Structure 1
Amino acid sequence: MAKWDNMLSMLWMLRSGRKLTAAEIADSLEISVRTVYRYIDALCASGVPVVAESGHDGGIRILESFKETPVFFNSLELKALVDAYKFAQGAGYPYTEELESALKKVEGGLHEEQRQELSLQTSGMDVISPARPPSVVPLLRDLEQAAKDGRTVRIAYRKANSEQADEREVDPYGLAYDRNEWYSVAFCHRSQAVRTFRVDRIAWLDLVEARFERPKRFSASAYFRSQSEGGREAEGPLTVIRIEGEPDTLNAVCGHWHMRHYLTERTDREARFVLDVPTMNKYLPAYLLTFGTGIRIREPLELKCRIQEIAYGIAQQYEVDRD
Structure 2
Amino acid sequence: MRADRLISLLLLLQTRGRMTAQQLAEELEVSVRTVYRDVEALGTAGIPLFGEAGHAGGYRLLDGYRTRLTGLTADEAQAAFLAALPGPAAELGLGEVLAAAQLKLRAALPAELRERAGRIQERFLLDAPGWYGNGDETPHLPAVAAAVWGRRVISVRYRRWTAPEEVERRLEPYGLVLKAGRWYLVAASGGDPRTYRVDKILELRLLDEEFSAPPGFDLVAHWQAQLSDFHARLHTGEAVVRLSPRGVGRVREQLGHAVADAVATTGALDADGWTVATVPIESIDHAHGEFLKLGTDLEVRQPQSLRARIATTVRTLAARYA
The alignment's TM-score, normalised by the length of structure 2, stands at: 0.53
Match of 1:44 in 2: none
1:229 aligns with 2:232: yes
1:53-85: CA deviation from partner (whole Å, max 9, x where unpaired): xxxxxxxxxxx6376682233333222211100
CA deviations over 1:260-287 (Å, ceiling 9, x no partner): xxx4997xx9799xxx989556355224
CA offset at residue 302 of structure 1? 4.2
Distance in 1 (alpha carbons) for counterparts of 2:248 and 2:226: 30
Q: What residue is the counterpart of 1:102 in the other structure?
A: 101
Instruction: Give 1:238-253 correspondences, 5 Å limit.
Output: 244-246=248-250, 249=253, 253=256
1:220 aligns with 2:242: no
- Which structure 2 residue ranges, 5 or more long, are not aligned? 7-43, 48-66, 130-134, 267-277
AA paired with 1:143? A
Question: For residue 286 of structure 1, what is the aligned residue in structure 2?
Answer: 288
CA RMSD across the alignment? 5.1
Distance 1:106 1:207, change over 3 A: same
Question: 1:182 deviation in Å?
Answer: 1.1
Distance in 2 (alpha carbons) for counterparts of 1:271 and 1:75: 42
Percent of pairs identical after alignment? 16
What CA deviation, in whole Å up to 9, does each residue of 1:59-118 have, x standing for no partner? xxxxx6376682233333222211100377479456555444433232112344443333
Matched, 1:65 2:15: no
Provide the residue aligned with 1:153 in structure 2: 154
Alignment of 1:287-306 (within 5 A): 287-293=289-295, 302=302
Preserved contact between residue 233 and residue 279 of structure 1 (Cα < 8 Å): yes
Contact 1:184 1:196 in 2 (8 A): yes
* Mapped partners of 1:15, 1:322: distance in 2: 71
Partner residue in 2 for 1:206: 206
- Quick one: distance in 2 between partners of 1:174 and 1:129? 19
In 2, are the aligned partners of 1:133 and 1:200 still within 8 Å (CA)? yes
Contact 1:174 1:184 in 2 (8 A): yes
What per-residue deviation string (whole Å, max 9, x for no partner) do you get for residues 24-76 of structure 1?
A: xxxxxxxxxxxxxxxxxxxxxxxxxxxxxxxxxxxxxxxx6376682233333
Distance in structure 2 (CA, Å) of the matches to 1:277 and 1:322 = 31
Q: Structure 1 counterpart of 2:183, which letter?
A: W
Once residues 182 and 176 of structure 2 are traced to their aligned partners in structure 1, the CA distance between those partners, rounded to angstroms, is: 10
Question: TM-score with structure 1 length normalisation?
Answer: 0.53
Over 3 Å counting, the alpha-carbon distance change for 1:161 and 1:227 in structure 2 is closer
Q: Deviations over 1:280-312 (max 9, x none)?
A: 563552242243259869xx9747x87665443
Mark the CA change 1:179 to 1:244 in structure 2 (over 3 Å): closer, same or farther: farther
Alignment: residue pair count? 242
* Cα distance in 2, alignment partners of residues 104 and 320 from structure 1: 65
